[in-house]
Amino acid sequence: MLSTDPIVHRYGDATVLRAPAIELRDDEHCVLTGPSGSGKSTLLHILAGILRPSEGTVRIDGDNLYPAAGRDDRWRGQRIGVVPQKLHLLASLSALENVTLACFLAGRAEHAGTAAPLLADLGLGDKLGVRPEDLSLGEQQRVAIARAIVNRPRLLLADEPSSSLDDDNARRALDLLFQAAKRAGALLVVATHDARTRGRFRREIELTRPA
């Protein structure tokens, strides 16, 4: 489902990422680990389709994510869901609107009707009209997860989803991500330096700081 060449990324002369080739099937949920500075977030951005790598490329279901002519932003929005580390919900929109925004921007208006039931399943049925500033951090994270999977993406990416949470909540956050990936039929890739999470993934890719 997801396959990459060995990937190198540089900013100017500095190499910030050196990753091995990746080959993952639909259910081979994977964790990206490594010390800070090893390029986990950079690789996640490359897998998300928003950062063209200096060397190597990424394929989703055989389709090149970085063809020479570039990819339509919608194409990416429809196939890849991302839960950023800092969530970045739009403060001006309600929980429900934050989710339907993803449908609107990815050109998948037909999925907007599933946003409310999805949020209800995530335990936010009574918070649909609430703005992010009035939600707890855990609730905000669930809204961000709903936003990432409402378009039923093939690939679900999460950046440090548990690092700022206590043990219970970290486990719960990961549970939610696994359920979300299952529900969407997506491959889950999580970047983390949180050792608590590593044992739960079938695959692990460990990055080292590039020399």
* Distance between CA atoms of residues 180 and 189, nearest Å: 12
Q: Which of 82, 68, 58 is CA-nearest to residue 148?
A: 82
1, 10, 54, 107: which one contacts another protein (CB under 8 A)? 107
Mask for 35-54, x = binds another protein (CB under 8 A): ------xx--x--x-xx---
Q: Which residues, 71 to 100, sit near another protein by CB under 8 A?
A: 72-74, 76-78, 82, 84, 86, 88, 90-93, 97, 100
Q: Does 142 bind another protein (CB under 8 A)?
A: no
- Name the minimum Å distance from CB 48 to another protein: 7
By the rule CB under 8 A, 55 interacts with another protein: no
Alpha carbon distance 209, 202 (integer Å): 23
User: How far apart (Å, rounded) are the C-alpha atoms in residues 91 and 78?
Assistant: 23
Does 101 contact another protein by CB under 8 A?
yes
Task: For another protein, give the closer residue by CB, 157 or 205.
Answer: 157
- Give 45 or 127: the residue with its C-beta nearer to another protein: 45
127: helix, coil or strand?
coil
- Closest approach, Cβ 200 to another protein, in A, equals 25
Rounded Cα distance, 173 and 208, in Å: 26
Which residue from 102, 145, 146, 189 is in contact with another protein, where contact means CB under 8 A?
Answer: 102
Tokens of residue 13, six digits: 């002369």
Instruction: Supply angle C-alpha 118, 119, 123, rounded to 5.
Output: 115
Minimum distance, C-beta of residue 167 to another protein, in the bound complex (Å): 26
**Which residue in the block uniquely carries the two structure tokens 């060449």?**
5
What is the distance between the alpha carbons of residues 186 and 44, in angstroms, rounded to a whole number? 16
The interface with another protein within residues 144-173 (CB under 8 A) comprises: 147
Give min distance, CB of 97 to another protein, in A. Answer: 6
Nearer to another protein, 46 or 201 (CB): 46
Alpha-carbon dihedral angle through residues 167, 169, 173, 176, given to the nearest 10 degrees: 120
